[in-house]
Amino acid sequence: RAKIEGKNRYQFFTKGMNSKVIHRLSLENRLRVALDREEFLVYYQPKVSIGSGEILGMEALIRWQTTDGQVISPLDFVPLAEETGLIVPIGEYVLRKACVDTGKWLEKNKKLSVSVNLSARQFMEKDLVGTLVAIVHEVGLPVAHLELEITESVVMGNEQTAIKQLLEFKEAGIRLALDDFGTGYSSLQYLRMMPIDTLKIDRSFIKDIPDNKDSSSIATTIISLAQALNLELVAEGVENRAQLEFLSLQNSKDMQIQGYLFSPPLPDAAFSELLNLNCPYDVVVSSPGRE
C-alpha cells in the first residue's frame, strides 16, 4: 500500500506517483465513502423457466449510484473492491439487502429464490460462512430461497479450505451455483470437487448460438453435462429469440433463462412491479424447424 503520510508525502507525489495511481487511490477512497453513505444499489434480473415462462428467481447485481446520480457498473469497481478487501463489507451489504427484498417478494411469488454473487476474496475471511449465515438468519429469509454464486477462482490454490467452506454453506441449507461456467481453468476437475447445485453457462457461449457451430456445440455439451450430473442449469445472456429457440430444443424443460430478451437487471422497485404483473414470459417456440 502506498504511504502518503508525513514526510514521504511530498517526495511521493512529485516523483513516484503517476496519474493512474492517483486515480486508483481516489477511487478507493470514494468506495469507502460510498459504503458509509450507502450509495450502493442492488438491481435484480429475473431468471425465467424455459418450460413455463414463469419467474423462478433473480440474480442480485450491485450498482454504485454516485451523488451526482451516475450509475456505475460493477465491472468498474468490483475488481478494486476485491483488491482492497472492501468487497467484504460490500458483499455483506448486498446479501442483507437481497434477503430483505426477497423475504417481502415471497408473498407475491412463493417460488422465488435469490442468487447473490460471492467474490473469491470473501473466502479469505476467517468466518465467512458464520457471518453470512448469521445475516440470513437475522433477516429471517428461509435459507432454501437463497443461492450463492461462486466461480472456480474460489477453489484455485486454496482447495481444501474452500471446499470445506462450501460444504458448510451446504450444511446450512444454502444452495450454490457455479457462475461463468466454461470460462475458467480445469473446469471438470473443479466441477467434480465442488458441492454445487446449479451451473450457469457463461454468456460468451450463448452469444453466438445458433449460427456459430462451435459455440452451439459447446452450449449443447454443457447442457448435457449438467443433465448427466443432475445439476440445475441457467443460461446467461440470452438476448434474442433465436438463442431461446436453440436452447428450448435441447430437451431441458428445467433450464432457466437469464438475459436481456426478458429483462435487464432492474432497480428493486421496478422488479417488484414486474412481480405484480404475474404474467409469464413468452417462451413458446414456433419455428418450422421444430419437431
- Residues contributing to the site for ligand C2E (CB under 6 A): 45, 61-62, 73-75, 78, 87, 91, 94, 117, 119, 149, 179-180, 203, 236-239, 258-260, 265
Segment interacting with Mg ion (CB under 5 A) among 21-29, 88-96, 175-183, 261-269:
175-183
Where would I find the beta strands (DSSP E) of the chain?
Answer: 40-49, 55-65, 71-72, 113-117, 146-150, 175-181, 198-201, 232-236, 256-258, 266-267
Choose the contact partner of 57 out of Mg ion, ligand C2E, none; CB within 5 to 8 A by kind: none
Q: Does 268 bind Mg ion (CB under 5 A)?
A: no
Q: Does 117 bind Mg ion (CB under 5 A)?
A: yes
CB of 83 to ligand C2E, least distance (A): 12
Site for Mg ion in 222-241 (CB under 5 A): 236
Q: Which is nearer to ligand C2E, 145 or 200 (CB)?
A: 200
Structure-block grid coordinates of residue 159 = 482447495
State the greatest distance between any 2 C-alpha atoms of the chain, in Å, as a whole number.
77
The span from the CA of 253 to the CA of 283, in Å, is: 11
Identify the residue whose cell numbers are 452451439.
216
Q: Does 147 bind Mg ion (CB under 5 A)?
A: no
Choose the contact partner of 239 out of Mg ion, ligand C2E, none; CB within 5 to 8 A by kind: ligand C2E
Choose the contact partner of 87 out of ligand C2E, Mg ion, none; CB within 5 to 8 A by kind: ligand C2E
What are the φ/ψ torsions at residue 59 (nearest 5 degrees)?
Answer: -100, 135
Q: Which is nearer to ligand C2E, 57 or 91 (CB)?
A: 91
CB of 36 to Mg ion, least distance (A): 26
Nearest-Å Rg of the Cα atoms of the chain is: 21
Q: Given candidates 28, 54, 180, 239, which one binds Mg ion under the rule CB under 5 A?
A: 180
Q: Which helix (H) or strand (E) holds 279?
A: none
What secondary structure letter does DSSP report for 155? T
Instruction: Give which of 276, 277, 258 is closest to 105, Cα–Cα.
Output: 276
Residue 1 burial (C-beta neighbours within 10 Å; 0-12, 13-18, 19+)? exposed
> What is the identity of the amino acid at 59?
E
Q: Which is nearer to Mg ion, 32 or 197 (CB)?
A: 197
Structure-block grid coordinates of residue 230 = 443432475
Residue pair 56/111 in contact (Cβ under 8 Å)? The answer is yes
Q: Does 179 bind Mg ion (CB under 5 A)?
A: yes
Q: Which is nearer to Mg ion, 80 or 285 (CB)?
A: 80
CB of 176 to Mg ion, least distance (A): 12
Q: Which is nearer to ligand C2E, 17 or 47 (CB)?
A: 47
CB of 6 to ligand C2E, least distance (A): 35
Q: Given candidates 34, 133, 136, 149, which one binds Mg ion under the rule CB under 5 A?
A: 149
The span from the CA of 215 to the CA of 211, in Å, is: 8
Identify the residue whose cell numbers are 442480485.
60
Q: Which is nearer to Mg ion, 101 or 149 (CB)?
A: 149
Q: Which is nearer to Mg ion, 39 or 180 (CB)?
A: 180
CB of 127 to Mg ion, least distance (A): 23
